[in-house]
Structure 1
Amino acid sequence: MATRLSRPRSIQNTNVGIIKQFPEQAQAATSALLCRQGVWRTWSVRLLPASRARIDLRELKSCALVCKMWYRVLHGDENSEVWRSLAARSLAEEALRTDILCNVPTYKGKVRAFQHAFSTNDCSRNVYIKKNGFTLHRNPIAQSTDGARTKIGFSEGRHAWEVWWEGPLGTVAVIGIATKRAPMQCQGYVALLGSDDQSWGWNLVDNNLLHNGEVNGSFPQCNNAPKYQIGERIRVILDMEDKTLAFERGYEFLGVAFRGLPKTCLYPAVSAVYGNTEVTLVYLGKPLDG
């Protein structure tokens, strides 16, 4: 049976109007008061699995901002019981049981990957995100190109994610990045990602780089570049400091595909045309150098 947590009387008497007007500040103040009064011991790591129905990631972050103990818990061991519990609650069993997250070794990383997965609210009406939370399924709709963006975009820092097709590519299969303004559906079978100035893409079918409706050359820049194989994981590396987008295949760095990216929020994205094909995207975090 879950341990019932009782709030100190001083918290119960907090002005309701202030809480409604400043919810984030009230949450932080509550967390600070809990820590000062020793209530964090009740919310210890050992009891977290029993009380996880009441504690979510946002509350834990608030605790970490005001309590050194929770800061060490959340930023120390990425496989601690805290992150293990949050992963079990946040992620589908399939995502944890299969090899979808095989390149994300820690539970904290798995929770973060789910936060950066495809958005169910920012994709074509002809696709849906499967129950595992990471895989896009395109319905067999004729004369339509359909895409999806992730939940979170990036305007700074360095980021890596991997993408792979789990079905036929069709005539066009594009991976890359897009702004919030880029369309995620259009008529016909076209390279939607890269069709305007709001997106940049690599078509895995013909190895062309696409932006602003134009072909920016072939990629990778080598003779007889190998064709993409279904199930092969492609790593995408976005560097918002250098304003570049690069790709890796396996352990091979394929090179920088795009330079001079704008200083705006850019989202990992894909576009597909083949009916019933599936695409999986997993955020990896900061890329490893070397």
Structure 2
Amino acid sequence: MAALPLRHGCEDNWTWNRRDRSHEVRLYGPGYRVAHFHPNWSSGTAGVRGTRILNNGRYYWELRISQRIFGTSMMFGIGTKRARLHVDAFMNLLGEDDHGWGLSHKGILWHGGRWTHYTKPFRENESTTVGILFDGIAGTLTYYKDGTCLGVAFKGLNEIREPLYPIVCSTAAKTEMTLALMKRDFVNLQDRCRAEILKRVKSQSELDKLALPQRIKAYLNEPLVDSVEPFKPVNNYVNSV
């Protein structure tokens, strides 16, 4: 088993974007980190974008994939804001064009509408954990499966000027992907100090109790994810094809 990437970094804190997803994706759980695809039946491909902007940093996150692994394509990777998150067809959505880079559960990499074999297909109906390491300095994207490094999948990502985000998508009904472990590199000493403080201050309400200047509070608050705001369905992609 490979050593955990960024093990000397700090915990990261982001989630799936409730306002940037297919209408066929339901989000729930702590911090809305569980993405449930096609809750009734599936007639196409649905995706959701993460809130984390990846460019110029080094990030690692793990996705726990439910045992319902099947269908045309379940995909994990990254993309820009222009990567589509819904289409009324069964397809490899992430990587259909130049705006996405993805790995399907069939072991195939997709980018720019082109594909290449990368690893063995995942066993159907057997839960697994997919790790993704984005290195914005080296410009690479590397995948892990159940703790085993599969090697560099994509290069040249440091040349992308548009913001890049984590993305997952699925064609299969009632499938789930849970955002689990999240790590990132420190940017500087100030960033490292903030990470230590946030090990003890884990919410906006706890932060508000500290007698600190507003500017420092604002800096400390940046990584905190709001998990209190009630869920509001958003159907931004209902008319996308």
Q: Same fold (TM over 0.5)?
A: yes
Name the structure 1 match of 2:93: 192
The CA deviation at 1:263 is: 3.5
| Counterpart selection for 1:180 from 61, 68, 81 | 81
Name the structure 2 match of 1:23: none
RMSD: 2.3
Please say if 1:270 is aligned against 2:165: no
Question: Structure 2: which amino acid aligns with 1:120?
Answer: R
Moved over 6 A (4+): none
Three-state SS of the structure 2 residue aligned to 1:242 is: coil
Whose Rg is larger?
1
Question: Structure 2: which amino acid aligns with 1:140?
Answer: N
The CA deviation at 1:251 is: 3.1
Change (3 A) 1:226 1:202: closer
Residue 117 of structure 1 contacts residue 282 of structure 1 at CA under 8 Å; is this kept in 2? no
Residue 179 of structure 1 contacts residue 265 of structure 1 at CA under 8 Å; is this kept in 2? yes
Name the structure 2 match of 1:202: 103
The CA deviation at 1:125 is: 0.8
Name the structure 1 match of 2:25: 127
The CA deviation at 1:179 is: 0.5
Question: Structure 2: which amino acid aligns with 1:171?
Answer: T
| Counterpart selection for 2:59 from 130, 135, 159 | 159
Unaligned runs of 5+ in 1: 1-104
- Output the CA distance in 2 between the equivalents of 1:270 and 1:228: 18
Three-state SS of the structure 1 residue aligned to 2:131 is: strand
The CA deviation at 1:231 is: 2.2
Name the structure 2 match of 1:143: 43
Change (3 A) 1:197 1:234: same
The CA deviation at 1:183 is: 1.0
- Output the CA distance in 2 between the equivalents of 1:246 and 1:141: 32
- Output the CA distance in 1 between the equivalents of 2:70 and 2:177: 10
The CA deviation at 1:168 is: 3.1
Q: Deviations over 1:261-280 (max 9, x none)?
A: 22432111111011111111
When the two structures are aligned, how many residues end up with a matched partner? Answer: 173
Residue 24 of structure 2 contacts residue 46 of structure 2 at CA under 8 Å; is this kept in 1? yes
The CA deviation at 1:202 is: 0.4
Residue 108 of structure 2 contacts residue 118 of structure 2 at CA under 8 Å; is this kept in 1? yes
Unaligned runs of 5+ in 2: 1-6, 186-241
- Output the CA distance in 1 between the equivalents of 2:153 and 2:19: 28
Change (3 A) 1:281 1:169: farther
- Which structure has greater strand proportion? 2
Question: Structure 2: which amino acid aligns with 1:198?
Answer: H
Please say if 1:232 is aligned against 2:128: yes
* Higher normalized contact order (CA 8 Å, seq sep 6+, divided by chain length): 2
